[in-house]
Every structure is written in structure tokens, then in C-alpha cells.
Amino acid sequence: MNRIKEYFVNLIDPQLLVVLLLLIVAVVALTLIFSKKIPEYKKYKTNIYIYLFLIVIVYAMVAFLGYNKLFSEHLMYEFIFYQVFSLVIGSIHCYVYHNFFNKFEQEKSPMEYLFALLVTFYGIIPFFLIYSFFNGSQYVYLMLGHYILFFVPTFVNDTFNRAMKIPPKVYLTWQFPENYRELAGVSDEEMRDLVVFTFLIGRSEDSRKLSTYRVKGPTRIDFGRLFFNFVLDYNERHPTEQIEIKNENGNLYEWVFFKQPKWYKATQYIDPRYTLYMNGIEENSVIFCVRSEHMIDEKNSFNSEYEDADFEYNKDKDNDRVNNF
């Protein structure tokens, strides 16, 4: 009998009563706000209250289940028990919101979080009362932290749905100009401010290994122009190991260029219309040159390890090619 009196004394704590009053006010306010946000609230009203009543019952049971000898001296285990329970209930809630309530015919994410917050506050009140009844107020606020996991399934689901709505990446592709042979060559005046960098290119569309080519080019020339001059020079010097520029139908390939990314940075794509300088190509930069058909698996299709260059392009070789053309 004395122990029962001690339990009731736990509830007379003025601080607990103030917090309980604030929780009740918050529940009433959230209920009113939620009812105003749903255009057809009357249609769902009965089911909503039944659902909220079930949440109250479930969390009351959780508080009772947590008060047992297994957790009497192991507060951490008790807290983990509550966390697991809230995670499970949160998962069920996410399913109910999307399938039973049909998202209240709303597509806005804030509405889903508002409903989850409303349900959480309805669940907090019975848990707060029962836990305080048995254990006092010493750890009750710490134990309320398990409700954070109630939001995790909703957050994960919302994040996934947002990710699925992200449009596919549009790559800037580039083709050899139709009159690329007429445009071949780089003048002596343009061959200034030279930098040495590396091209990684698959010789054919079916190549699974990228060949390495060292290139010395001026920073003020358009990247696309330098690229097709390099390819022409290489193909003329290596007629048996040419870099394919046309597919089996005779159409020019479309190319995508990007710098070798560092593990902590996003991939930086090259705009062939701009100069090397404007594309941020510096000494010893590494440029992947990929036919656009391979962009779906740009990082896994090839063996991108490179050692010594298979070919080196520079001013002298370009001049020899132009003079012999």
C-alpha cells in the first residue's frame, strides 16, 4: 500500500504537472492546426481519432512493458528497448499514412511531418504519465528521446521519394565538326602558355581499357579544337591503332569530357566550347574522354589506371602533320 502511495506521489511533482499541461496544450493546438490543413478533414475524422486512440494505448503498453526486472538496473537497455519500439511503430505509421490514409490526398511533405508530430505528442502523454508514475521524474525526459526514432522511417521515405524526383543528369556532349579536316592545325601564335596534361581515351567504343596520352597544349585554345587536332595527329601516325571517331554507321561519335575527380569532390565536366584555362585545366591534369554511349557507367566500365603515355602530342608533331596533309 505504501508503495502505491509513493507512485502517486511521483505524479504530484509540480514540474511534471506543468510539463503535462504544456503537452496537453500542444496536442490541442496541433490537432486544430492539422484539422485546418486537411481540406476534407471530416472524411477522415473518425479514422484519425481511432488511430490516435490506438497510438495512446500502444505507448501506454510500452511504458508498462519497460517497467520490469529486466531493466530495473539497466537504464541503457531500457532506453534501447523504447528506441526499437518507436522505430517499429514509426515504420508502421509511415505505412498507414501512405496506404490507409492515402496521404490525406496531399502531396506536400510538411503535411506528413505534421501528422507524425501530432501522433508523437499523442503518444508522449501516456508514456510520460506512466513512466513518471513508476519511476519519478529523474530520467523521464531522457527516456522521451526515443521518440526521435519515430520520425526516422518518415524521413527516410521522404528522402527516397525526393531523390527519385531528381531529373537525370544532362551531359554536355561534343562532336567533331563536319569540316574538322579543314580546321586542322594550331598556329605558332596560339602555341603559348603551354601546359602538359593527360588524356585517357578508349580507342574504340568497345574498349574496356583506357589508353594514356600526354598532351602539351596552349591554355587559350578551345578544348574541343585541341582534342580533334590531337586525335587527327595520333590517327595519322598510328593507322593500325586509330582512335575511332565514327561508329559503324559512319556517324561521328558524341563525346563527354571530365577531369579525374578527387574522392571528396564532385565530377567536374569539361565544356569543349571553352578554352583550357576557362575549364580549369592545369599542369598534370587528367582528362577522361568518353564516348557518350559509355556515360551510364562512366566510372565502372573502364580500367582507368594509367602508367606511361602511349603517345605524346606537342607543337612539333602537329606542325609535321599539317605540313604533310
Domain spans of the chain, in order of start: 2-159, 174-324
150: left (phi over 0), alpha (psi -120 to 50) or beta: alpha
Answer whether residue 308 shows pLDDT above 70. no
pLDDT for 13 beyond 50: yes
How sure is the predictor about 156, in pLDDT bands with cuts at 50, 70 and 90?
Answer: very high
Higher pLDDT, 264 or 27: 27
Q: Which residues of 258-273 are buried (b: 16+ CB within 10 A; e: fewer)?
A: bbeeeeeeeeeebebe
Q: Is 179 exposed, middle or buried (0-12, 13-18, 19+ CB in 10 A)?
A: exposed
What pLDDT shows up at residue 315? 54
Per-residue cell: 291: 564516348
How many degrees, rounded to 5, is the angle at CA 141 between CA 139 and CA 147? 120
**Most confident of the following: 52-56, 65-69, 139-143, 215-219:** 52-56
Domain 174-324 has CATH 3.10.20.90: yes
Which of the pair, 126 or 322, is modelled with greater confidence?
126
The residue to which cell 490507409 is assigned: 100
> Do the beta carbons of residue 144 and residue 127 sit within 8 Å?
yes
Q: Quick one: pLDDT at residue 295?
A: 53
Strand locations in the chain, DSSP E?
174-175, 194-201, 211-218, 254-259, 286-291, 311-313
Mean pLDDT for the stretch of residues 217-244: 90
User: Helices 109-135 & 41-66, crossing angle to 10 degrees?
Assistant: 30
How much is the pLDDT for 316?
58
